[in-house]
Amino acid sequence: MQKRTLGTSGLEVSAIGLGCMGMSFGYGPAGDRREMTALIRAAVERGVTFFDTAEVYGPFTNEELVGEALAPVRDRVVIATKFGFDIDPDSGAQRGLDSRPERIRRVAEASLKRLRTETIDLFYQHRVDPNVPIEDVAGAVKDLIQAGKVRHFGLSEPGVATIRRAHAVQPVTAVQSEYSLWWRRPEEEVLPVLEELGIGFVPFSPLGKGFLTGAITETTTFAGDDFRNLVPRFSPEARKANQALVDRLGAIAAAKGATPAQIAIAWLLAQKPWIVPIPGTTKRHRLEENLGAATVALTADDLRAIGESLSAIPVQGDRYPERLEQLTNR
């Protein structure tokens, strides 16, 4: 597996990471713990060194899974986790945002225990809290870095003004946001600012929450607790309309001797050398497929053809319900 450095921070990770959320949360019932542990360790064997989790995934159970799975190889991997939600410790219900410094410190201590580690490699603010100045957030993480409990600071789905303000207090190593062939908005403002400031970029949902794999159609049904049931872009009508994009991606993939998922990930890798996508999966064959994207070479002509071809197909449906979209780009 090739390696990449997130911006100018010096944090080196595998060119493709593994998003672990879906193993415990978000896409239906949690996976079998033994099978998910085996999957994470298989990723390590294949050269993956970058693993993404968060306290809210589960909540808490995903960090516990990742901590247990990676404990035997802790010195070989980079673990990213997140703070920023107010979570009821008894019910696990989300009660809004909370990035107060005292809350950040408590989350860090709890995450360290669940992850079975002495240091969190990359600590993201999960969503920007409008009630807490970002300077206070950055300052709290700076204190944790100085105390040796955190190595690097990150932000998830922030606006560019927030990135600049946070970076002025504590250098931001990475920004995590959705980015893929069917969600390209980071290109407008975020990516230029990250390049200017020397910050790495970690795209989540690089396969469009599974849609770009071609495995989801208008007739697909999701489990009752799968959050895609709430996403406008995944309504049956939107999926039917968006099938044209997947069909086109499939034709491009066939011409390159690859799968649609591999083309989608390879396209991301080709955008900038400091971009590290984190596709998630609960299946070993999908892990192998996703990691195979690192060997797919796309020429400048390929990239131009992909961009022009897919840009001509408008994507139908918002990517989040309005209440969730309001939490982004602050």
List active site positions. Answer: 57
Residue 45 DSSP class: H
3-state secondary structure of 269: helix
Task: Judge if the upstream peptide bond of residue 72 is cis by omega within 30 degrees of 0.
Answer: no
H or E element at residue 243: helix 236-256
Give the span between the Cα atoms of 179 and 191, in whole angstroms: 10
Burial (0-12, 13-18, 19+ Cβ within 10 Å), 218? middle
Residue type, 207: L
Residue with tokens 């490699």: 121
Radius of gyration of the chain (CA): 19
C-alpha 42, offset from chain centre: 19
3-state secondary structure of 5: strand
